[in-house]
A = this chain, B = another copy of it.
Amino acid sequence: MIIVLKPDHKESDLHRIVRRLEDLGLGAHISKGEHRTIIGAIGDERVLREVPMESFPGVESVLPILKPYKLVSREFKEENTIVQVNGHQIGGDEIQVIAGPCAVESREVLEEIAGELTAAGVHFLRGGAFKPRTSPYSFQGWGEKGLKLLAGVRERTGMMIVTELMDPRDTVLLCKYADIIQIGTRNMANFRLLTEVGNIDKPVILKRGMSATIKEFLMSAEYIAAQGNEKVILCERGIRTFETETRNTLDISAVPLLKNLTHLPVIVDPSHAVGRADLVPAMARASVAAGADGLLVEVHVRPEEALSDGPQSLRPEAFAVMMEECRRVAVAIGRTM
């Protein structure tokens, strides 16, 4: 950590800071420049994070040198983490597709969708039993009844189930039915929920918060890993910007950036990012080309009847075309799908 002093700092300000660093077991490297005096803290600057150095008299600014996350960083573990789910891998050479409706609606619709997905070669079924809805008057999901419908599909098709956890009180219940637990964008900084899934033995898909920086995103992953669960799959799903033609703006550069900063798998949800079915296939292809380890796509047999997120759901025919296009792009960059 670099501490920059104000041009008019007092000598006693400098001494006080040096003393504080020494108390914390750090060395202080002082460098008096033409315009500023700076102090470099030598040692593990993480002990300094809890100390508000900016509040010390005479301090102009504080510049961290190290990244605030550790367990999830590429520096800590160089090789890619590959998450194993019932014989399938997320984070390996094969790009995985997780697809399904936004919300579980009825047994019939769910089975119809699952049939289409299986035909298209998809192994992972997504569907919400508990839905975070902006309006208290909107459909909130079927709860356990929805989970049971998902489990029924798993039994009949062998598909693995991905579903969202919204409340720490539902953890045990969800773990009974799901193969992968999803933490939604609105809960990326729900630290209690992160701690909760850090203590279970299931893979977790962590969606990036709508206005979370890459650093904050990785800090949330660190919360889970710090509890002992390292099976974290990061999911870029669009960030909030000024643009209104799309629901959010897909930050495609997050894919290579995250692959550079962390060893965790990175997948992309193009459906929530753009919020319009017609743009999803192009975004899916772009995600694969950028190096994503997987896709999370909303598919519905009759979007106009969907109880949630109809406008962004692909119909099965469009989805099948998208799969074929993405496969060709995957091959072009040396992967499979």
Known: A286-B290, A325-B332. 13 other contacts (CB 8 A): A34-B44, A35-B44, A35-B45, A35-B65, A35-B66, A36-B65, A52-B310, A167-B192, A168-B169, A214-B245, A215-B245, A240-B240, A249-B253
CA distance A254 to B223 in the complex (A): 33
The answer to whether A65 and B43 touch (CB under 8 A), given A242-B211, A252-B286, A332-B329, is: no
Among A120-128, A130-138, A144-152, the stretch that binds chain B is A130-138
Which among B50, B186, B290 is the interface contact of A307 at CB below 8 angstroms? B50
Establish whether residues A252 and B250, one from each chain, have CB atoms under 8 Å apart when the complex forms: yes
Establish whether residues A139 and B50, one from each chain, have CB atoms under 8 Å apart when the complex forms: yes
Is the CB of A219 closer than 8 A to any CB of chain B?
Answer: yes
Number of copies: 4
**Minimal beta-carbon separation of A47 from chain B (angstroms):** 10
Is the CB of A80 closer than 8 A to any CB of chain B?
Answer: no
The answer to whether A285 and B274 touch (CB under 8 A), given A7-B75, A245-B213, is: no
Q: Which residue of B lies closest to A214 (CB)?
A: B245
Which among B46, B63, B282, B332 is the interface contact of A255 at CB below 8 angstroms? B282
Establish whether residues A283 and B253, one from each chain, have CB atoms under 8 Å apart when the complex forms: yes
Establish whether residues A283 and B256, one from each chain, have CB atoms under 8 Å apart when the complex forms: yes
Query: Which residues of B lie under 8 Å from residue A40 when comparing CB positions?
Result: 31, 33, 38, 40
Establish whether residues B329 and A65, one from each chain, have CB atoms under 8 Å apart when the complex forms: no
Query: Which residues of B lie under 8 Å from residue A240 when comparing CB positions?
Result: 211, 240, 242
Query: Which residues of B lie under 8 Å from residue A66 when comparing CB positions?
Result: 35-36
CA distance A286 to B333 in the complex (A): 11
Is the CB of A235 closer than 8 A to any CB of chain B?
Answer: no
Number of interface residues of A (CB under 8 A): 107
Can you list 28 contacts pairing A with B, beta carbon distance less than 8 Å? A2-B2, A2-B38, A7-B75, A29-B33, A31-B40, A35-B44, A49-B135, A55-B311, A68-B135, A134-B216, A135-B222, A136-B195, A168-B169, A187-B190, A239-B241, A241-B242, A243-B251, A244-B244, A249-B253, A252-B286, A253-B283, A256-B278, A282-B291, A285-B333, A286-B286, A289-B289, A289-B290, A332-B332
CA distance A42 to B274 in the complex (A): 30
Which among B7, B273, B331 is the interface contact of A332 at CB below 8 angstroms? B331
Establish whether residues A283 and B290, one from each chain, have CB atoms under 8 Å apart when the complex forms: yes
CA distance A288 to B249 in the complex (A): 18
CA distance A329 to B335 in the complex (A): 12
Q: Which residue of B lies closest to A281 (CB)?
A: B256
Contact with B along A177-205 (1 / 0, CB 8 A): 00000000011011110110000000000
Query: Which residues of B lie under 8 Å from residue A257 when comparing CB positions?
Result: 245-246, 279
Is the CB of A93 closer than 8 A to any CB of chain B?
Answer: no
Question: In the complex, which residues 273-315 of chain A have their Cβ closer than 8 Å to any Cβ of chain B?
Answer: 273-274, 276-279, 282-283, 285-291, 303-304, 306-307, 309-311, 313
Contact with B along A56-74 (1 / 0, CB 8 A): 1100000101101000000
Is the CB of A226 closer than 8 A to any CB of chain B?
Answer: yes
Which among B211, B252, B333 is the interface contact of A283 at CB below 8 angstroms? B252
Is the CB of A153 closer than 8 A to any CB of chain B?
Answer: no
Establish whether residues A279 and B256, one from each chain, have CB atoms under 8 Å apart when the complex forms: yes
**Minimal beta-carbon separation of A203 from chain B (angstroms):** 19
